[in-house]
Structure 1
């Protein structure tokens, strides 16, 4: 009781002192200070673009401090590694200190960061009197390009006026590729030994970190820095080079390079030290279609007992999808289907027109039946148990305009939309939306021909899976161009969304000055 009386006296004395105090205080118990930073990305395109070393970046954020004194605010702009993890310091693990790049409200910074790295950009605003603070992560994926002799972007293999070469287009819409165009990069790096013959295929090994360039006359393995030739088809690329030269499809997956040549699969295990040669073809009767899966094994919380194939192929002689397992000498076979499946993955009806891995790991195959009609067969071999129920969709494609005239197809893991080019038009079709007809998403002028397409791969950046490039050639004008679009990977329609974050308000945009591009591939500055 005595303690309670003492506390009550102290509390009364405190309020009495406050009432008598005539000092310079500004109390308002009804209005708490509220500190915020504007989070609308469309108002800060500079912070979502690729930053070049030496470039000057300026941006002033919108900061609101309701019921507070802005004179008390301090501002700290800082960057940290995109993958922010602990580092060994002496005998302990510590998180590295962020790099402060500016201490004023307006960001005014000349880029001095490591080329080829990627960063996060943050701003912290703090009231030094009240201690109230707020932080904003403006860009979670801020890339710094490599030097010019290690190109990144959309690599375009082309022919023009009897010459074969490579142009590199960097697209601001893609966010991670920069904003330059590099012309004739192979011949500039190899002036005495340019590419010969018509272009066939251009690919990049994400495991071996090298390019493959195939023309009708030569096959090369090329280093990314300086584009110097490492090996040739005849010398260094194979243990025993195939006598028939007919490269058809390449895929880099599971730390392994896969190459289909003349209907046969060759495998190179990049994880084996000192081994960068393709082995003899996998033993199999029949001819493989030019299809290789881009998704086979899920390494993050996989389904227990899921199919663990290193690669999936389609044997068009047998009409069968077949798994290939690590270090295998031949192909396996999927389990016999249950009676209620939509189709038999071991005996698919028709001839393959186009097969690709789409929509987060599903395999979509457009098949032409004996009666001339087209069917879409969709199965899933990725992160599922082979219980005899691998099929997902089986749809007639009678309503798809110009499909019989289509020569170019493209699709991606970002969604179920499939794009195809026929003449000077590009159509899209999505098999999950219920549509029965195709959508015309782009039409060129008379004489234009769509020669190839490429979708930006999915990844940890907002534009992943949302950028479609269309290569167009006009024979009469002897000129080519690249159509740069943002698409919705589910509906297959053009959609302006993340492009606006980097200030690209047109959809599509057109870049001219190209040859006849026969294949495009992506290499980012981190590959």
Structure 2
């Protein structure tokens, strides 16, 4: 009996010994095979930073995974699984309460997926998992998603025969990359509108009001969200910026009087398509526009109509507290002035002639065009036409508190100037550019000589629809010393918008950028973009 017990005991000891030995062997095998291999896997070709345009570009990653034996692990290896996920760098939820999003539900090695995320900075994770052990090796990368509306040239267009209002954009993603984006406001809530008028842009460092962007048309004017560009019927200018609702008129011109405060403007001014002008005096806490100011008494019935132009000084920093309008009924210049009298800032006053007048502010002519510049510390150019169709140019300096007559240009040696439909005045040189059909001319106001811009080459079926210089407004670029010379030079490039009438769709618009040579009276093309509708206005969306 004792011998039997001893034999049983010996068998149990042997079994226990074999079990322990087997278990150790398994651990040794796993350590020698799985753990060591995963620890030595390397991941290459993962970029540190990927910059993409949201809802436009794809996030693309093509890693190279190397095994301990220095062999490449390919996607068809059944022992491995590949994963990608993304989360906000600063933390928080991305969408629908999720803190991270799976970018690779198919578990593929290479990633190529639409960057369908709002503008922000994200952290991406790539991992390789050995399905036999569950052990993972990972690498991370950063994804910077930019909005197509974040920064760049906003391009307001008329589309097709119906002149549907459409905003396109040349989005600035980085200093090295710009991307055209088309019809960006339709999916963001802009109502169906006709007859584009212009873009109203008032940049400010104040939090209230913050930067203001308006889309102006012959069927209504709408504010758009400065960050997302979203809008809807509730953002009609009548609802958000007018104390007295206007009936039967639409804002078609909007600007600001910036004064000397780099943080914000003294006032915002606008003109409607029926010829009424309005003033919002921001420096006095004015929350909105009220009654028309084209009158001699505050709140009275308008006494005349004004042209859809407002002249202000664009010198930086601003040194002006005045604005210039034109009374089309009495064919005279009228002015607005900032001051201590609240009633006085809600009326316009005829501009008196000085004793040594170069011309009369009671011009007695039709105003064809008026443009604000930075030339001579804030010169406003006005093109006027007499009853015989002859045109001349007045230069009125808006610096300080006055309306100073600085120049008068008559008998211009400018071919077809009386037929010109688009104009632009330079802020560094005494140059006027004008367009007739598909031809662009440079007129030197100092020498009275005109130069055809033959290198602005447009086809027989093209016409110039816009000439413009986009001067940066100082409020949103508070520290200009931090901007590159190349960036600052952009504001002095001639922008030429043209349309090709032979285009088979509604996208025959082109926008060219031309640096101006102030020595040789010439321009050279830097770049151009295509695919727009008929360009009406272009404004650079500045960022702080």
The two structures share one fold, judged by TM-score above 0.5: yes
SS at 2:146 equivalent = coil
Q: Does the CA-based 8 Å contact 2:219-2:250 persist in structure 1? A: no
C-alpha separation in 2, matches of 1:294 and 1:146: 37
Q: Where do residues 179-190 of structure 1 align in structure 2 (5 Å cutoff)?
A: 179-190=178-189
- Look up the match of 2:307: 289
Q: Does the CA-based 8 Å contact 2:221-2:250 persist in structure 1? A: no
- Look up the match of 2:125: none
Offset at 1:281? 0.7
Determine if the alignment matches structure 1 residue 518 to structure 2 residue 536: yes
- Look up the match of 1:73: none
**Residue 473 of structure 1: which of 499, 502, 512 is its match?**
499
Offset at 1:490? 7.8
C-alpha separation in 1, matches of 2:235 and 2:245: 12
Q: Does the CA-based 8 Å contact 1:152-1:177 persist in structure 2? A: no
- Look up the match of 2:24: none
**Residue 279 of structure 1: which of 269, 290, 302 is its match?**
290
Offset at 1:210? 2.0
Determine if the alignment matches structure 1 residue 449 to structure 2 residue 469: no
- Look up the match of 2:249: 245
Where does structure 1 lack aligned partners over 5 or more consecutive residues? Answer: 1-51, 57-114, 117-144, 303-307, 496-506
Q: Does the CA-based 8 Å contact 2:389-2:418 persist in structure 1? A: no
SS at 2:216 equivalent = strand
Change (3 A) 1:177 1:454: farther
SS at 2:349 equivalent = coil
Determine if the alignment matches structure 1 residue 362 to structure 2 residue 363: no
Offset at 1:448? 0.2
Q: Where do residues 12-23 of structure 1 align in structure 2 (5 Å cutoff)?
A: none
C-alpha separation in 2, matches of 1:354 and 1:456: 17
TM-score, normalised to structure 1, is: 0.61
Offset at 1:397? 4.2
Change (3 A) 1:166 1:385: closer
Q: Does the CA-based 8 Å contact 1:231-1:237 persist in structure 2? A: no
- Look up the match of 2:166: 165
Where does structure 2 lack aligned partners over 5 or more consecutive residues? Answer: 1-47, 53-118, 121-143, 259-264, 296-302, 475-479
Change (3 A) 1:199 1:371: closer
C-alpha separation in 1, matches of 2:347 and 2:175: 39
C-alpha separation in 2, matches of 1:452 and 1:177: 26
Higher normalized helix content (fraction of residues): 2
- Look up the match of 2:513: 484
- Look up the match of 2:223: 221
Q: Does the CA-based 8 Å contact 1:177-1:524 persist in structure 2? A: no
Q: Where do residues 210-359 of structure 1 align in structure 2 (5 Å cutoff)?
A: 210-229=212-231, 231-254=235-258, 255=265, 256-261=267-272, 262-271=274-283, 276-284=287-295, 285-295=303-313, 309-326=321-338, 327=342, 328-338=345-355, 340-344=356-360, 346-358=361-373, 359=375
1:227-262 CA-to-partner distances (Å, cap 9, x unmatched) read: 122621443331122223243321123322211112
Question: Relative contact order, CA 8 A, sep 6+: which one is greater?
Answer: 1
Q: Does the CA-based 8 Å contact 2:217-2:251 persist in structure 1? A: no
Q: Does the CA-based 8 Å contact 1:430-1:490 persist in structure 2? A: no
Change (3 A) 1:489 1:363: farther
